[in-house]
Amino acid sequence: MEVLRFQQACLAFGTHPVLDKVDFSLFSGERVCLVGRNGAGKSTFLKVLTGQQSLDDGQVVLPSGVVLSRLEQDPPAKMDTRIADFIREGAGDLADKLQQFYQLSDALDADNAQQMRRFEQLQAELDSRDGWSLEARVTALCQQFAMEPEANLASLSGGWLRKAALARALVAKPDILLLDEPTNHLDIAAIQWLEGFLKEFKGAIIFISHDRAFIRALATRIIDLDRGQLTSHPGDYQQYLDRKQKILEDEQQHNALFDKKLAEEEVWIRQGIKARRTRNEGRVRALKALRKERAARVDSLGKVEFAIEQAERSGKLVFEAKQLSHSFGGEPLLNKLDLLVMRGDRLALIGPNGVGKSTLIKLLLGELEPEQGMIKRGSNLEVAYFDQHRQALDLDATVQDNVADGRQEVMQNGQSRHVLSYLQDFLFPPARSRTPVRALSGGEKNRLLLARLFAKPSNLLILDEPTNDLDVETLELLEDILQQYQGTVILVSHDREFVNNTVTSSLLFAGRGTIVDITGGYDDVVRWQSQQADKAPKTARIEPPAEVPVKKADKDTGATERKLSFKEKRELEQLPALIETLETQLAELQQQVNAPDFFASPIEQTQAVLNQLAELESKLAHAYERWEILEA
């Protein structure tokens, strides 16, 4: 069933066409990915659907009764509110209508005709919009996403805020769900949860994403927005890439033939007096038509072109850490880590948000002092640091001043180059180069930060979430550049395909300070985790370790330790296997709870699983506590 249609939609900003007589239909159950270069107008396309942007011509047709909802990309402006209230707001005025109905029903006067008409109007609207189940839907969504309804939004991390925003978008029971870069700032576990959830969504989805693994997993059709034209590509992402390459090659060949013919006609029209006396007026009119067609042609944007300015080679050793330990708020982030980074290594740091990846980078660079252990830094290190929060950019300065610090020239490969010429390699034309940074889009800011970094010599490149907001073409070029880079690369990214294509080894942050060194990229990490899960015992009986009181040190005698009893020694030997078994069972239960259809089961079943999950968490915490006591 068709749930949305564009008819000859036209929209332009100045001379820049965003939509040029676009026709498009969306059908129920489709998961459509909207792709295109940064600045092509993808977010504007979604704004047209939500009514935030009007068309210059044409129309958007939504059948009667079709509900459309959008997952907001930015975090909520008001954080001091309950999760349940935030989700309920996604239903628009429905909550207010429901409250009005109950207030009116309490004070209803059957003899008051005006009150009775309003009562009937509210009742009819609540019937048609399923308003009676609103509170039940809010409660069910909180349960489904494992969120506490009374908790405050301010207490949620970035990933949980995105889940709350998704619940807010779903409470209206939309037929069409719009997602703008839904994976930005989510860790890999959250991205995979989102993939699974969206696959179970029964309505239609239009989403914008540059995460190629996410697109491959989710999209049933690709629509490509390029210079105002919207082209539909049925099938998977790889089929789209093959077709797009063929289209661009055909277009390039056609334009080359056209330009050759135009050049020949321009030579003819400029021939001498004799030729002009005998010239064919029809041929002159044809030349004017060719000129008009060439003027109307919208050329594709140039390709991003950049190279990293490389410094002299660093020493063979880049970093060496021994028995490195660090914690935050009492939680261990690093526990006796031994790490060796050599020149030319390309290392990915993989793990959920808040597990300590950025902390390790700061420790290696000397921005933080470790609580325990030592770090040896190599000689002649020239560091280029890509910060995910873009703190290196001066928002009030222009693009060119951010790169050249007020100068007109930058050095590249030992040669002086004008900054405006250099910035054109990053798709910043001269007019855009003189724009204040705060006026740029997210993708443009990331391109600018790359331009700033690559203009300075480096032999150690640290990239913290460089892929956010970058279009696919720029991502692929960045991958190629990193593969050719002769220095050392340390990368933090939740883009699985980018990690696979750029690194040679990975550090997996497994939690509670445990870090595992794995050869290869993200797929190799997944294989290692699968192998570990296969090795873990599945049916071991879980018994809490015996409570054995630990005698405190005798202050009077100055004693600082005591010998373990035979029973305590035996307990200490068994604790690692117990902890591993508990963690495996906990992971299995958590996966069961995260399943999209889990909370559709009867409350008795779901509550039993949740109780078991809480019991396992308690046992695991107790086991860790006993291990720490006995180890000490």
* Secondary structure (H, E, C), 387-398: CCCCCCCCCCCE
Q: Which of 314, 362, 308, 300 is nearest to 334 (CA)?
A: 362
Q: Report pLDDT for 632.
A: 64
Q: Report pLDDT for 409.
A: 86
Distance CA 164, CA 181 (A): 16
Domain boundaries, the chain: 2-240, 247-296, 317-520, 566-631
Low-confidence ranges of the chain (pLDDT < 50): 273-274, 276-277, 299, 301, 539-561
Distance CA 505, CA 499 (A): 10
Q: Are 469 and 208 in contact (CB under 8 A)?
A: no
Q: Where are the beta strands (DSSP E) in 246-330?
A: 317-328
Distance CA 266, CA 248 (A): 26
How far is C-alpha 626 from the chain's CA centre?
Answer: 39
Distance CA 95, CA 118 (A): 16
Residue in this structure with the two tokens 């009077």, named with its chain if needed = 556
Q: Name 451's Cβ contacts closer than 8 Å, sequence gap at least 6.
A: 306, 403, 422, 423, 425, 426, 428
Q: Report pLDDT for 283.
A: 62
Instruction: Return the structure tokens found at 603.
Output: 């409350």
Q: Is the pTM of this model over 0.85?
A: no
Instruction: Return the structure tokens found at 231.
Output: 């082209």
HEC profile of 534-573: HHCCCCCCCCCCCCCCCCCCCCCCCCCCCCCCHHHHHHHH
Residue in this structure with the two tokens 């000129």, named with its chain if needed = 291
How many of the other CB atoms lie within 10 Å of CB of 589? 18
pLDDT (tens digit, 9 = 90+) per residue, 49-99?
A: 988 889 999 999 988 888 899 987 666 777 788 898 888 888 877 777 777
Q: What is the DSSP string of 345-408?
A: -EEEEE--TTSSHHHHHHHHHTSS--SEEEEEE-SS--EEEE-TT-TTS-TTSBHHHHHHTT-S
Position 585, amino acid: Q
Q: Are 113 and 135 in contact (CB under 8 A)?
A: no
Angle at 446 between CA 413 and CA 179, to 5 degrees: 150
Q: Are 438 and 395 in contact (CB under 8 A)?
A: yes
Q: Are 141 and 600 in contact (CB under 8 A)?
A: no
Distance CA 169, CA 69 (A): 6
Residue positions forming the annotated binding site for ATP:
36-43, 351-358
Q: Are 186 and 198 in contact (CB under 8 A)?
A: no
Distance CA 357, CA 334 (A): 10
Residue positions forming the annotated binding site:
36-43, 351-358
Q: Are 462 and 487 in contact (CB under 8 A)?
A: no
Instruction: Return the structure tokens found at 548.
Output: 């054995």
Query: Element (H or E) spanning 2, and its range?
Result: strand 2-13
Q: Does domain 317-520 have CATH number 3.90.550.10?
A: no
How many of the other CB atoms lie within 10 Å of CB of 451? 25
Asked, colleague to colleague, whether 2-240 and 317-520 share their fold, the answer is yes
Distance CA 609, CA 594 (A): 12
Q: What is the sign of the dihedral through the CA atoms of 599, 602, 603 and 606? A: negative
Distance CA 298, CA 287 (A): 19
Distance CA 24, CA 30 (A): 13
CATH number of 2-240: 3.40.50.300
HEC profile of 429-465: CHHHHCCEHHHCCHHHHHHHHHHHHHCCCECEEEEEC
Q: Report pLDDT for 288.
A: 65
Q: Report pLDDT for 562.
A: 53
Q: Are 500 and 522 in contact (CB under 8 A)?
A: yes
Residue in this structure with the two tokens 């039940």, named with its chain if needed = 136
Q: Which of 448, 305, 462, 446 is nearest to 382 (CA)?
A: 462
Query: What residues does 139 pair with on adjacent strands?
Result: none
Distance CA 599, CA 189 (A): 19
Q: Which CATH architecture has domain 566-631?
A: Orthogonal Bundle (1.10)
Residue in this structure with the two tokens 């497994």, named with its chain if needed = 510
Q: Report pLDDT for 303.
A: 54
